[in-house]
Amino acid sequence: MRKLIQGIADFRETKFADYKEVFAKLVLGQRPDALFIACSDSRVAANVFASTNPGDLFVVRNVGNCIPSCDQHGMSTGDESEAAAIEFSLSNLNVRDIIVCGHSDCGAIQSLINGREKIPFPNLKSWLRHIENALDMKNLFLIKNPPKEYHNLISQINVLLQVENLKTYPIVQERILNGTLKLHSWWFDLKTIGVHYYDESEQQFVLIDEKHARELLKELK
């Protein structure tokens, strides 16, 4: 906490003036570029690796960047709060991109691999059931050129499965069908500080370096 309080004091002293104008605009309303669904892990710092500013991203974070699927009535099978954020960002903010971002060395994935039944906390144990199918052998083929570490492969598979869960939301299906929404699978590697995107044609996560960033920007035009 000391670091946070000191940080507030430092911000007011050194950066307050720079952000005054930014927030004067933001107070009139937000128009975020994307809904960003990521793991709660403190190291997944999108503001650093994607150079984002206040107002750029509408954010949902939870343990394991999990998106419980919807039932046939469009109700989330595990997290109304996240479902509400998905619906709000699409209907009220007209967000046109949703990014699901997993990461390397994820504690949730490691707990899963160690055995969900061994987790001594009832809510965490129950919550991770939503990502348990990442361990299913039949999903191993989803990633070509997988990372060396098994837990990182499972983490990448998990991102793809959560994106599939996202497609069970009626509002997501509707927006994809009318061409106003794109879903993106990202994976952040802590060791290399590299953000990867899932390239469907190559069936693997590819580093977004300068070259790939240029290509992705061209596709967005």
Q: Pick the binder of Zn ion from 106, 128, 131, 153 (CB under 5 A).
A: 106
User: Counting contacts by CB under 5 A, is residue 66 touching Zn ion?
Assistant: no
The residue (of 62 and 181) whose beta carbon lies closer to Zn ion is: 62
The residue (of 35 and 106) whose beta carbon lies closer to Zn ion is: 106
The residue (of 90 and 161) whose beta carbon lies closer to Zn ion is: 161
Q: Give the binding range for Zn ion (CB under 5 A) out of 36-44, 79-87, 181-189, 211-219.
A: 36-44
User: Counting contacts by CB under 5 A, is residue 67 touching Zn ion?
Assistant: no
Which residues have CB under 8 Å from 184's CB, separation 6+?
34, 97, 98, 99, 100, 197, 198
Tell me, by CB under 5 A, how many residues bind Zn ion: 4
Q: What is 124-161 written as a DSSP string?
A: HHHHGGGGGGGG-GGGGGG-SS--SSHHHHHHHHHHHH
Distance CA 97, CA 141 (A): 26
User: CB-side exposure of 177: number of CA atoms within 13 Å?
Assistant: 8
The residue (of 90 and 166) whose beta carbon lies closer to Zn ion is: 166
Chain residues in the site for Zn ion (CB under 5 A):
39, 41, 106, 108
